[in-house]
Structure formats: C-alpha cells, structure tokens
Chain A
Amino acid sequence: MVALFMLLLRFLGSTALSLFGYLGELLFLMLETARSFVTMPVRWRLALGQILEVGYRSQLVVIVTGAFTGAVFAAQTYFQFHRLSMDTAVGAVVAVSMFRELGPVLTGLMVAGRVGAAMSAEIGTMKVTEQLDALRSLGVHPVDYLVVPRMIAMMLSMPMLVAECVGIGILTGMFVAVHLLGVSQVWYVNYMLRFTALRDLEMALTKGFVFGLLIVFVACNEGLKSKEGAVGVGRATTEAVVIGSLVILVINFFLTMVLNVFFPTT
C-alpha cells in the first residue's frame, strides 16, 4: 500500500515537474520574443509573408467553420426554443454565443490545427537539418528571424479571422432561422441587436488575440526543441496541435471569467 502510494506520489511529482518545466520553456520563449520585438528591428517582409500564410490562407477554413457552426447552432436553438414559443430569441442566442465563445474558440482550434502544425513542422525541419544552427552561425537569432514575424502575423490576423468567423456564423444562422425555419426576420434582428453590444465584439477580438499568441508560442516552442529527425518533427507537429488546442480550451475558461468583468453581458 505504501509502495503504491509512493508510486502515485512519484508519478504526480514528475508530472508536475514536467508541467512546470514546459511552462518555463514557454515563458522563456515569450520573454525572449517580447525582448526581441521591443529591442530588435522587425523583419516586416517576413511578417507580411506570415500574414499571408496565417490570415489570407486560413480564410476558407474559418469561413466554413463559422458558416456551419452558425447554421447548426441556429437550427438546434430553434428546435429547443420553438417548443417554448421563443423562436425570435434564436438570433440573440446565436449572436452572443458566436461572439463570446464559438467564434473565438473554433477559430483558435482551426488555426491551431492548420497554422500551428505548419509552423511547428517548418521550424522543426529547420532544426533537424541544421538550418537553425546555420542561422545562429550567421549571427541571426532564431527568435528574431522565426518567432517574431510569426507572432506579429498572429496578433494581426487572429482577431480578423475571429471577426470573420463570427460574422459568417451570424449571417448563416440568420439565413437558416429566417429562410429555412420561418422565424420572423424583423424580430430575429431586433432581439439580436438588443442583446449584443460592442463589448461582445471586443471580447471576441481579445480572445482571438490571446489565442493567436498561445498558438504561435506553443507551435514555435515545439518546433525549436524538436530533435531526432523526421520522427521528432512529426512528434513536434502533433504536440503543437494537441497542446495548442488544449491550451486554448483551458485558457478560454479563465479568460471568459476574467473578461466578463471587463465586458459584461448585455
């Protein structure tokens, strides 16, 4: 019994140590990136390239995600509310949910999958093929060259992608509710406007901004520490997606609690 307890204690201890070690790595990368961003010249050409990759090329994924999430959420809400004769409240529920939770979280998860994986794989491949060592030997800090442009691209692109996802979701939700399920458009829009405010948009954009930073730091950290050739790059890529997604879901809860203080619901 004592041995079992010791085993459990050792397991918990090593897990806690690994977690703190990982958080330390992330914190170190964040501080190094912030320092580079403030003190070193920014490579804007690289940042623009990353904006194209992160922002422009994620459009389809985000639009499809937003559209079908809004559509299905409107339909489900209608089916429940219709029994209570609350059809016209569907617009408000869809809009508030898309703004405050679904838009930012689903965009974050999709971007973590698409962009986080790509970032991790690219940097990881550079690491195992000595391209990172080559950068360092040429007097270039990998954080300056690889992480800062990606961080800038994420900071600018993610809020816009979230806004796009939310907007598309609300529009398709309205289309489904009004044109397919027969909810009155006037009341739908009226309730939607009454129960949403600018602070809902602010909350969505803030979440998008934070999730963007989380994705970029998790993905870059995984890429920068990858080793053992192709297997290592594959592992880093998988972990970038898994950890990035989990971090978004966990942080989202705490972010919701904190942001509700600053942006309370209408």
Chain B
Amino acid sequence: MLAVAGLTKQIGDQQILRGIDLQVASGETLVIIGRSGSGKSVLLKHLIGLMLPSSGEVFIEGRQIVGLKERQLLPIRKTVGMMFQGCALFDAMTVEENVAFPLREAGERNAGVIRAKVAEALEVVDLTGHEQKLPVNLSGGMKKRVALARVVITRPHCVLYDEPTAGLDPVVSDSINHLIRRLQRQFGVTSIVVTHDMKCAGHVADKVAFLHEGAIYFYGAFADLVASQDPLIQDFIQGRSGDKD
C-alpha cells in the first residue's frame, strides 16, 4: 500500500531524516514512535507529498510520488487521508461544513446525500448533535473526532494520524485509540500513526517503528519492542530522561 525507500531530508544544516526504509501492507497499522524532534511528523508529511525529500522514494499503491507536481499529487492524496496534530479544521466552517468539505470538493452537490454522509461520519466518531458548532467551541477531543470524520467521509484507503492523542486526557485518548482500531476493522483502512504515547501504540499497532535521530532504530511487533533490552528503547518506554534532581 505504502512504501518508502532511502528517504532523506535535510533542512539547512540539520539532517532530519537519514535514509528511511519502510513498507506498510494494505490493512495494516504501523505506529511510528520516537522522541520529540526525531522526525516523525516530517516523515508523515513526506508520505503524502506535503514535503519534498532531499532524496529517496515514496510509493503510494505502487506509484512513485516524489517528483510529481502539486496538481499531479492531488488525485493521489484523495486516496490517503491525514489527521493533523492540531486537527487543522477550517475555523470559518461549522462541524458539518468541515466534514462535508471533501464531499463537496469531490463534486457532490445533492444536499440530502451530503447530510446523510455527514451524519454517518459523525456517528462513526460518536459526535452526533454537534453539527452546527464552530471549531472554536469544541474541546480538543471533539476537534480530533471532527478531523477524523472529515478524513473518513470519503473512505480513503489509508489514513495517516499525526499525534492523534496528543494533549488529550487519558479517557479521551482511549476513545480515540478505540476509534482508530474500529475504523481499521470496520473499513479495512491502512493506518500509519505517529505518536509518542505508548498506550496508544500498544492499542492500535500491528507493527511499530522506533525513530531515533532521523533513522529507524527498531522495527517489529509492539511486544518485541516492549521486551527489548536496548537501553535507548527502554528509556523511551519508561520515560527516563537520565537527568538528575
């Protein structure tokens, strides 16, 4: 479904990504974990062509997207949805308009069809009854749900999640994790989740990639990651900084 080969990214003097190789099978959920600044979100943006790599290749459903022009990327992006860390809801639009946006842009003009699909998408994310609210009047968890509804309404083959549980309380985080899992089971979507929330990783991952200083440090099952005796991985899992009081 999605593959990356030899991906590097340099911004100024800083080497953000150092030769990433990854493959995500159809219907699989890959969780990319790593410390803040390790290049997780940058990697995610490369997967959908929102950023251009310094070198390397990115394939979506077998098609190489590096080197394509912005307008050539647009139809490909419609098969891959992305949920942004800050949700990126259009703040001038209501919840209903935000969720309906991809449908309208896809050319759907029938108000009845749009309303029904929006209601269905909001039901999937348990947010029925908030259609007329503006994003500014929503809590963090609700914004995440709206962002997710906007992504899934067009039934993309793959969904990229950038820190889906960041800044949420444990209960809301848990409900988002369930939602990601449910979407994968219900619609069979391929998912790539960037997070540093280990609970989230444990809940949704089929495979885990641990990113460290722009390179894949570990790739495998979540259980193997937890069982690893590597001090770097253990420090990350246990949340040890090594600093002293």
Interface residues of A (CB under 8 A from B): 126, 129-131, 133-134, 136-141
Q: How far is the CA of A137 from the CA of B156 in the complex (A)?
A: 11
B71 touches A137 (CB 8 A): no
Q: Is B243 part of the contact surface with A, judged by Cβ < 8 Å? A: no
Q: Which of A130, A131, A137, A140 contacts B48 (CB 8 A)?
A: A137
> A126 contacts which chain B residues (CB < 8 A)?
90
Given A129-B88, A130-B88, A131-B88, CB of A136 within 8 Å of CB of B71:
no
Considering residues A130, A133, A136, A138, which has the most beta carbons from chain B within 10 angstroms of its beta carbon? A138
Which residues of chain A come closer than 8 Å to B73, judged between CB atoms?
136
B155 within 8 A of A: no
Question: In the complex the two chains form, is A133's CB within 8 Å of B78's CB?
Answer: no
Cβ-defined contact, B50 with A131, below 8 A: no
Assuming the A-B contacts A130-B84, A130-B88, A131-B90, are A140 and B74 also in contact, with contact meaning beta carbons closer than 8 angstroms in the complex? yes
Instruction: Identify which of A129, A131, A134, A141 contacts B70 (C-beta below 8 A).
Output: A141
Do A129 and B75 touch (CB < 8 A)?
no
Residues from 79 to 138 in B contacting A, C-beta threshold 8 Å:
80-82, 84-86, 88-91, 101-102, 105
Partner of A137 from the list B70, B82, B85, B90 (CB cut-off 8 Å) is B82
Q: Is the CB of A131 within 8 A of B91?
A: yes
Q: 19 A-B residue contacts at CB 8 Å?
A: A129-B86, A129-B88, A130-B84, A130-B86, A131-B90, A133-B45, A133-B88, A134-B84, A134-B90, A136-B73, A136-B77, A137-B82, A138-B78, A138-B81, A138-B102, A138-B150, A139-B74, A139-B77, A141-B74
* B contact residues around A129 at 8 Å (CB): 86, 88, 91
In the bound complex, how far is the Cα of B105 from the Cα of A134, in angstroms?
Answer: 13
Total A-B Cβ pairs within 8 A: 52
Contact for A139 among B45, B75, B86, B150, CB less than 8 A: B75
Hey, which chain B residues are within 8 Å of A136, CB to CB? 50, 70, 73-74, 77
Chain A residue contacts of B150, Cβ below 8 A? 138
For the complex, give the distance between the alpha carbons of A133 and B89 in Å.
11
Please report the C-alpha to C-alpha distance between residue A131 and residue B85 in the assembled complex, in whole angstroms. 11
Q: How far is the CA of A145 from the CA of B39 in the complex (A)?
A: 30
Which residues of the partner chain A approach B70 to less than 8 Å between Cβ atoms?
A: 136, 141
Which residue of the partner chain A has the closest CB to B154?
A138
> Residues of B contacting A141 with CB < 8 Å?
70-71, 74
A193 and B89 alpha carbons, distance in the complex (Å)? 56
Cβ-defined contact, A139 with B105, below 8 A: yes
**New A-B contacts (4) at CB < 8 Å, excluding given A130-B85, A130-B88, A138-B77:** A129-B86, A130-B84, A138-B101, A141-B74
Q: How far apart are the CA atoms of A130 and B85 in the complex, in Å? A: 9
Nearest CB of A to B117, in Å: 15
Interface pair A134/B88, CB less than 8 Å apart: yes
Please determine whether A137 and B86 come into contact, CB atoms closer than 8 angstroms.
no
Residues of A within 8 A of B81 (CB): 137-138
Shortest distance in angstroms between A128's beta carbon and chain B's nearest beta carbon? 10
